[in-house]
């Protein structure tokens, strides 16, 4: 069978399965999740064997240690995945509940929350995305089509076959969860073109993947994870707090989208902050790149270019610029931001207000680290990703992001 | 100046204006709307003169009477436009209000509703869309870029210059409302490609326009108005009610998207319904196209083809099919619908439930006409269009559809 026909067949199966999934009660969907959690635990040995093949292949291909760690599954991690699924089963049902309003003509309008239908995910080397995404989609009554990276293909095949086993045990159409086993670029491109089959496509992974999906997809997409985030330290800042937040936002996990890439410093505190920050970051060998005014303070650091300010390093690198005031800081951010998360450290209510009102980013922090932009940290119970677009959902995406609206209108013969 | 540069200039102006608009209070935005309503009334003479040029050109181009009527503005219509704007000023502010939740670590998360930013509208010959869209965008704190059809260009130029006068009177950046005066296809195509400038593009008009925008736009789009709507008359239906609803849904205004295009009849009531419906619709010369079982009842009507069932006529034409039961009706609808509005007439709760639960359309009516799918009829106070997509907004779009989310997070030094 041609690849396009295979993908179309998977899409058609998902579409049919999505109709019956949408009719399941919340209790039944939770039963399904518990069954998946159980089968994954019971199949842990199988999964680890499959994962070992992926790890062996990855090592042969000279993959980095960080990548190997993302790829690796062991008993503890499978237990973690399984218990995360059980937690999702405990969350409130995102489907069904809604407002009812009665119009003067007697029409009763029920605004229902319903599943979107068929969700497709394109992702990279992390096999844990497979059960994570599946459980969020099933919890919200959606069918899911998974297209993971080639590095994790054996793990993914094994996990999906176990999930489909759990679906059969619960008498649910197993096409509710499908894996596209072809991991060529072509399969991703074909999937992005399946208009009429896929209701939303969510890419998860590096910048290259996200950009490729956003630019090439013909189906609706939710853009996730582009984060050129900023920290501004104001004139009135508590400098101990500023140092602590800067260290956390830059160095606690530089590879994630809510880490900062640029620090803006009010001229009056630049000297003290920069001297202390430089010392504190030697343990991370942080590469600090500064503007001319920074170089006057720390002559040994590299000069930051325009390109530096526009770059999401995702690494132990930070660009720093000294500004005259909060206005200049806000102008800089509005010029370079991807609209993800920005923080100000200040004791001035006026500076804080100016900062949060004049920057059009999804999350604006006053005296806290940008690292909190996360579904779990926001209390959403689960996260499918962090949306950096403005339509449908912005910021951390909980289960609600996987629902849409349906109006059911009851009358007794009303005409207009 | 090249057209692309002109459009880019307009987009840049709108982007800048959107920042200051987002800072205006609700009271100030309402003042702006009242000022526009007043200036439009005072400028009614100017508008009517400009409109007369459009009407004269249209007549010379042999435009239809229906089209001429859509194009025409007179004192009464301008008064209607003006009072509609005053009503929008009275509506609740869609901006600002939001939930606040405090996390266990003390972070206070404010979920704010904010303007989307820059809204672009591409539409056709109706000049009333110009003030309508403008007032909804300004009410929700958004800048708007208008690209109307060539038929209404003189009216649009005049209306926009009056609106910009009102903006200046209120000391608001007049680039908050811009008209693209070039009405070639090229200007629409260029506008659709303005990534980074336009936050959402909403097409309003016929099917050709909508399809072209959805397929070609590089900026986020909200798809509106594709309506292949259905009415199913069940075995247990009150036939008087069914006839009344069918007449209303098909013949009261066939050109709109919430009118029905196909009637499905349970075999047991097909004979009586069709005989009566045929008689009642002679005054509209309704062209009824039926399946074979319909032709056995009304031998004189045309045979309906597959293409008929897939067609949104927007005219005095209807296709009719006799089905064995509600299951067959639902299968037919799921095969042909564009997901807009469908109705069932039935006295059976079981049929009604099956119908509303198994069809994935935005509005499902039990014993009422599909013609109610409308922002005004739903009680939203205003309507920018009817979304037939699933993401962001589905169904009639009120002011909320023009907002997005911004999280403001207040802490006292929290790190993760």
* CA distance linking residue B290 with residue B309, whole number of Å: 10
* CA distance linking residue A241 with residue B415, whole number of Å: 10
* CA distance linking residue B184 with residue B202, whole number of Å: 18
To the nearest whole Å, the CA of B358 is away from the closest chain A CA by: 7
- Structure tokens given for A166: 């759990």
pLDDT bucket at A266, cuts 50 / 70 / 90: very high
CB atoms < 10 A from the CB of B247, how many?
18
User: By the CB < 8 Å criterion, does B414 face chain A?
Assistant: yes
* Residues A251 and A208 placed together within one structural domain of the fold: no
Q: SS3 breakdown of chain A: % helix, strand, coil, rounded to 5?
A: 45, 20, 30
- Structure tokens given for B314: 């927007």
* CA distance linking residue B409 with residue B107, whole number of Å: 7
- Could you identify the residue written with the tokens 């064995």? B324
Rounded alpha-carbon distances, angstroms, from residue B18 to B116, B129, B130, B140: 9, 20, 18, 11
Given phi > 0 = left and psi -120 to 50 = alpha, else beta, which region is A381?
left
Residue A395, domain CATH: 3.40.605.10
Interface test with B, best of A249, A344, A411, A412 (most B CBs within 10 A): A411
Look at A405 and B412 and tell me if their CB atoms are within 8 Å.
no
Which of A237, A246, A235, A304 shows the shortest CA–CA distance to A276?
A246
What is the reported pLDDT for A64?
85
Question: What percent of chain A stands above pLDDT 70?
Answer: 100
To the nearest whole Å, the CA of B127 is away from the closest chain A CA by: 25
Look at A409 and B372 and tell me if their CB atoms are within 8 Å.
yes
Residue B317, burial from CB neighbour count under 10 angstroms (0-12, 13-18, 19+): middle
* Residues of chain A numbered 135-194 and touching chain B (CB < 8 Å): none
Identify the H or E element spanning A110: strand A108-115
Q: Is residue A170 part of a domain?
A: yes
Q: Is residue B379 part of a domain?
A: no
* Residues A401 and A363 placed together within one structural domain of the fold: no
* CA distance linking residue B7 with residue B301, whole number of Å: 52
Q: Would the CA dihedral through A119, A125, A128, A130 be positive or negative?
A: positive
- Structure tokens given for B307: 């293409």
User: By the CB < 8 Å criterion, does A41 face chain B?
Assistant: no
Q: Is residue B384 part of a domain?
A: no
- What residues form DSSP beta bridges with A273? none
Residue B307 Cα to chain centre, angstroms: 25
- Structure tokens given for B187: 């200007």
Residue B316, domain CATH: 3.40.309.10
To the nearest whole Å, the CA of A142 is away from the closest chain B CA by: 13
**Residue pLDDT tens, chain B, 416 long:** 899 999 999 999 999 999 999 999 999 999 999 999 999 999 999 999 999 999 999 999 998 887 898 899 999 999 999 999 999 999 999 999 789 999 999 999 999 999 999 999 999 888 999 999 999 999 999 999 999 999 999 999 999 999 999 999 999 999 999 999 999 999 999 999 999 899 999 998 888 888 889 888 889 999 887 889 999 999 999 999 999 999 999 999 998 899 999 999 999 999 999 999 999 999 999 999 999 999 999 999 999 999 999 999 989 999 999 999 999 999 999 999 999 999 999 999 999 999 999 999 999 999 999 999 999 899 888 788 899 999 999 999 999 999 999 999 999 999 99
Given phi > 0 = left and psi -120 to 50 = alpha, else beta, which region is B392?
left
Q: What is the DSSP string of B3-61?
A: HHHHHHHHHHHHHHHHHHHTTS-HHHHHHHHHHHHHHHHHTHHHHHHHHHHHHHHHHHT
* CA distance linking residue A112 with residue A390, whole number of Å: 23
For B329, phi then psi, to 5°, come to -60, -45
Alpha-helical regions (H) of A91-238: 129-139, 153-169, 185-192, 207-216
Look at A116 and B391 and tell me if their CB atoms are within 8 Å.
yes
Q: In this predicted model, what pLDDT tens digit does every residue of A286-341 receive, in sequence order?
A: 999 999 999 999 999 999 999 999 999 989 999 999 999 999 999 999 999 999 99
Q: Which of A247, A362, A389 comes nearest B407 by C-beta?
A: A362
* CA distance linking residue B138 with residue B130, whole number of Å: 12
Look at B411 and A365 and tell me if their CB atoms are within 8 Å.
yes
- Structure tokens given for B82: 């003006």
Q: Is residue A14 part of a domain?
A: yes
What is the reported pLDDT for B255?
86
* Residues of chain B numbered 46-85 and touching chain A (CB < 8 Å): none
Q: Which of B103, B371, B393 comes nearest A379 by C-beta?
A: B103
Chain B nearest-CA residue for A220: B391
To the nearest whole Å, the CA of B153 is away from the closest chain A CA by: 30
Question: Coil, strand or helix: which one is B245?
Answer: helix
To the nearest whole Å, the CA of A362 is away from the closest chain B CA by: 5
Q: What is the DSSP string of A45-83?
A: HHHHHHHHHHHHHHHHTT--HHHHHHH---HHHHHHHHH
What is the reported pLDDT for B271?
98
* Residues B151 and B255 placed together within one structural domain of the fold: no
For A289, phi then psi, to 5°, come to -120, 120
* CA distance linking residue B26 with residue B19, whole number of Å: 15
Which of A374, A306, A379, A371 shows the shortest CA–CA distance to A343?
A371
Which of B378, B399, B383 shows the shortest CA–CA distance to A104?
B378
* Mean pLDDT, residues A188-201: 94
Q: Is residue B382 part of a domain?
A: no
Mean pLDDT, chain A, integer: 95
* Residues B195 and B263 placed together within one structural domain of the fold: no
pLDDT bucket at A97, cuts 50 / 70 / 90: confident
Chain A hits for B412, CB-CB cut-off 8 Å, are 241, 367-368
Q: Which of B358, B394, B405 comes nearest A394 by C-beta?
A: B405
The structural domain count of chain A equals: 2
Q: Is residue A257 part of a domain?
A: yes
To the nearest whole Å, the CA of A273 is away from the closest chain B CA by: 16
ipTM of the complex: 0.93
Q: What is the DSSP string of B105-160?
A: TS-EEEEEEEE-SEEEEEE-S-TTHHHHHHHHHHHTT-EEEEE--GGGHHHHHHHH
* Residues of chain B numbered 319-338 and touching chain A (CB < 8 Å): 334
**Strand order through the sheet with A200-204:** A177-179, A143-147, A118-123, A200-204
Q: Is residue A289 part of a domain?
A: yes
Q: Is residue B117 part of a domain?
A: yes
Residue B235 Cα to chain centre, angstroms: 34
Q: Which of B107, B395, B413 comes nearest A405 by C-beta?
A: B395
What is the reported pLDDT for A207?
81
* Residues B238 and B297 placed together within one structural domain of the fold: yes
Chain A hits for B365, CB-CB cut-off 8 Å, are 409-411
Rounded alpha-carbon distances, angstroms, from residue A62 to A52, A68, A151, A182: 15, 10, 12, 22
* Residues A40 and A182 placed together within one structural domain of the fold: yes
* Residues B196 and B314 placed together within one structural domain of the fold: no
How many CB pairs below 8 A link A and B? 192
Interface test with B, best of A117, A241, A342, A414 (most B CBs within 10 A): A414
User: By the CB < 8 Å criterion, does B351 face chain A?
Assistant: no
User: By the CB < 8 Å criterion, does A101 face chain B?
Assistant: yes
- Its domain, for residue A331, covers 229-372
* Residues A333 and A289 placed together within one structural domain of the fold: yes
User: By the CB < 8 Å criterion, does B264 face chain A?
Assistant: no
User: By the CB < 8 Å criterion, does B395 face chain A?
Assistant: yes
Rounded alpha-carbon distances, angstroms, from residue A323 to A365, A394, B16, B161: 19, 29, 22, 40
* Residues A183 and A259 placed together within one structural domain of the fold: no
Residue B389 Cα to chain centre, angstroms: 12
* CA distance linking residue A197 with residue A118, whole number of Å: 7
* CA distance linking residue B119 with residue B226, whole number of Å: 21
* Residues A216 and A238 placed together within one structural domain of the fold: no
To the nearest whole Å, the CA of A199 is away from the closest chain B CA by: 7
* Residues B341 and B404 placed together within one structural domain of the fold: no
Look at A366 and B414 and tell me if their CB atoms are within 8 Å.
no
Look at A220 and B389 and tell me if their CB atoms are within 8 Å.
yes
Look at A406 and B394 and tell me if their CB atoms are within 8 Å.
yes
**A221: DSSP letter:** B
* Residues A101 and A209 placed together within one structural domain of the fold: yes
């Amino acid at each position: 069978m041609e690849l396009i026909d295979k993908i179309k067949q998977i899409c058609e199966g998902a579409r049919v399965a999505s109709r019956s999934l949408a009719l399941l009660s919340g209790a039944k969907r939770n039963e399904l999740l518990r069954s998946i959690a159980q089968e994954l635990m019971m199949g842990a040995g199988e999964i680890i064997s499959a994962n070992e093949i992926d790890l062996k292949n990855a090592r042969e291909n000279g993959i980095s240690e960080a990548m190997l760690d993302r790829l690796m599954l062991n008993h503890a991690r499978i237990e973690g995945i399984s218990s995360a699924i059980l937690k999702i089963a405990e969350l409130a049902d995102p489907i069904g509940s809604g407002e009812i309003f009665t119009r003067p003509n007697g029409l009763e309008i029920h605004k229902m929350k319903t599943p979107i239908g068929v969700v497709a995910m394109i992702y990279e080397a992390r096999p844990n995305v497979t059960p994570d995404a599946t459980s969020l989609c099933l919890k919200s009554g959606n069918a899911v089509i998974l297209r993971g990276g080639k590095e994790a293909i054996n793990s993914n095949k094994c996990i999906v076959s176990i999930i489909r086993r759990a679906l059969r045990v619960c008498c649910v159409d197993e096409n509710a969860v499908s894996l596209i086993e072809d991991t060529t670029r072509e399969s991703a491109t074909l999937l992005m073109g399946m208009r009429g089959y896929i209701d939303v496509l969510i890419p998860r992974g590096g910048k290259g993947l996200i950009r490729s999906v956003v630019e090439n997809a013909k189906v609706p997409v939710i853009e996730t994870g582009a984060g050129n985030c900023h920290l501004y330290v104001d004139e009135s800042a508590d400098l101990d707090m500023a140092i602590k937040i800067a260290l956390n936002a830059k160095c606690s996990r530089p590879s994630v989208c809510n880490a900062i890439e640029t620090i803006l410093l009010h001229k009056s505190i630049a000297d003290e902050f920069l001297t202390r920050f430089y010392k504190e970051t030697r343990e991370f060998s942080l590469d600090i790149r500064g503007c001319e005014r920074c170089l006057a303070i720390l002559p040994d650091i590299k000069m930051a270019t325009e390109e530096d300010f526009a770059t999401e390093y995702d690494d132990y690198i930070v660009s720093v610029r000294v500004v005259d005031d909060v206005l200049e800081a806000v102008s800089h951010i509005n010029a370079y931001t991807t609209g993800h998360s920005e923080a100000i450290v200040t004791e001035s209510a006026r500076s804080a207000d100016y900062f949060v009102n004049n920057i059009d980013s999804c999350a604006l922090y006053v005296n806290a680290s940008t690292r909190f932009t996360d579904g779990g940290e926001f209390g959403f119970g689960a996260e499918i990703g962090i949306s950096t677009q403005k339509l449908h959902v912005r910021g951390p995406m909980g289960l609600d992001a996987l629902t849409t609206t349906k109006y059911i209108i009851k009358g007794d013969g009303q005409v207009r």
